[in-house]
């Protein structure tokens, strides 16, 4: 619908679409800053104090993301050290892992690296948000930067922009990562996209253009044949992780999708493997921890110790930049689903 036609029907576009700065006041969320975004039937919550990650995502009121048992947590003493990180991993639709470590906590050359790294709890600076017309498109945009730095150590900057347009069912995430130090720096990066109930339910399908599937560990191996479907929740079931070698087009573009045929809804993630050559699937069917993670990464699930041993740590040269994009699209109805299944 054209701008003039749409404005003839509404008094204020915030009736249909907006971005609003909010701050939580209750419990462990206290003082957590965020942006509340409404784009028609698409709603999301972007966490200003947590790397501009997407804490919540829903469509037509139906929840899409996983939220772990600790729930949303603000900038307080629940942080990243060692196994304590399990008490601050909120899930959400996206949390960003890195930039010095992406997986289990480890110690390398006498230096400690917390689980999934520090960037996921880093608050954004130079934050801006806008909503307005670009010709006949009503566009919403949030941007900011996160810095991971240490005296005499690394100085890595992640600049993130999240955009959506009214009338569309998609979100574009654009990241630029720059090494602002005067030496080459390791830069490990994993995007942890998390799907939860009710989109995720027994029978929900995972669709990947997978050429090869490798279980991460012995606990995952017996379940390799079921990587593409969610099972019933089971008390105390261990997590299963699968490493996928994905097909791409000639430009390196690929995708991952989660589809619930019963409710004719799903979510599609599109990205390029130029800077994200690894892809992991995290599947948890444990009762109370029922979740699925789609994880494009520039490093292996075995983490920093593996890459240090193999001398394959991903490095950025001084003042080198990498630009990475993800597009998330809601699948609504059988026509959308058929385009993925076919």
CATH number, domain with residue 27: 2.70.98.10
* Tens of pLDDT, residues 222-255: 999 999 999 999 999 999 999 999 999 999 999 9
The DSSP secondary structure of 28-52, one letter per residue, reads GGTT-EEEEEEETTEEEEEETTTTT
| C-alpha to C-alpha distance for 208 and 339, rounded to whole angstroms | 13
Lowest mean pLDDT among 87-91, 147-151, 187-191: 87-91
User: Residue 135 belongs to what domain range?
Assistant: 3-341
Residue 341 DSSP class = H
Is-contact 146 133, C-beta < 8 A? no
The answer to whether residue 157 scores a pLDDT higher than 70 is yes
**Residues, the chain:** 342
The predicted model gives 322-339 an average pLDDT of 97
| Token output for 245 | 């070698």
Question: Among candidates 275, 282, 293, which has minimal Cα distance to 216?
Answer: 282
Is-contact 251 262, C-beta < 8 A? no
* Tens of pLDDT, residues 98-133: 999 998 888 888 888 888 889 999 999 999 999 999
Total domain count, the chain: 1
| C-alpha to C-alpha distance for 96 and 22, rounded to whole angstroms | 21
* Tens of pLDDT, residues 264-309: 999 999 999 999 999 999 999 999 999 999 999 999 998 888 898 8
| C-alpha to C-alpha distance for 108 and 91, rounded to whole angstroms | 26
């Amino acid at each position: 619908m054209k701008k003039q036609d749409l404005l003839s029907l509404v008094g204020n576009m915030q009736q249909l679409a907006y971005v609003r700065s909010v701050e939580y006041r209750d419990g462990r969320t206290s003082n957590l800053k965020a942006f509340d975004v409404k784009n028609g039937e698409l709603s999301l919550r972007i966490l200003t104090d947590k790397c501009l990650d997407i804490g919540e995502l829903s469509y037509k009121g139906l929840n899409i993301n996983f939220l772990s048992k600790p729930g949303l947590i603000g900038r307080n003493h629940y942080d990243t050290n060692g196994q304590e990180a399990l008490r601050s991993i909120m899930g959400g639709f996206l949390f960003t892992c890195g930039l010095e470590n992406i997986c289990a906590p480890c110690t390398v050359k006498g230096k400690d690296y917390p689980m999934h790294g520090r960037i996921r709890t880093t608050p954004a600076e130079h934050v801006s948000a806008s909503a307005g017309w670009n010709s006949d498109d009503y566009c919403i945009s949030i941007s900011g930067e996160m810095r991971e730095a240490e005296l005499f150590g690394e100085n890595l900057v992640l600049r993130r922009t999240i955009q959506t347009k009214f009338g569309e069912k998609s979100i574009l995430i654009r990241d630029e990562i720059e090494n602002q130090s005067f030496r080459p720096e390791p830069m490990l990066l994993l995007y942890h996209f998390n799907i939860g109930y009710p989109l995720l339910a027994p029978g929900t399908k995972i669709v990947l253009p997978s050429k090869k599937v490798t279980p991460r560990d012995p606990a995952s191996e017996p379940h390799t044949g079921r990587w593409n479907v969610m099972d019933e929740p089971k008390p105390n079931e261990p997590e299963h992780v699968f490493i996928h070698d994905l097909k791409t087009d000639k430009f390196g573009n690929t995708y991952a999708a989660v589809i619930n045929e019963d409710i004719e809804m799903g979510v599609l993630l599109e990205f390029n493997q130029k800077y994200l050559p690894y892809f992991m699937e995290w599947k948890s069917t444990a009762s109370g921890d029922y979740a699925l993670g789609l994880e494009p990464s520039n490093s292996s699930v075995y983490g920093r110790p593996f890459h240090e041993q193999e001398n394959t740590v991903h490095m950025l040269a001084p003042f080198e930049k990498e630009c990475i994009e993800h597009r998330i699209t809601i699948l609504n109805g059988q026509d959308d689903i058929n385009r993925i299944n076919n």
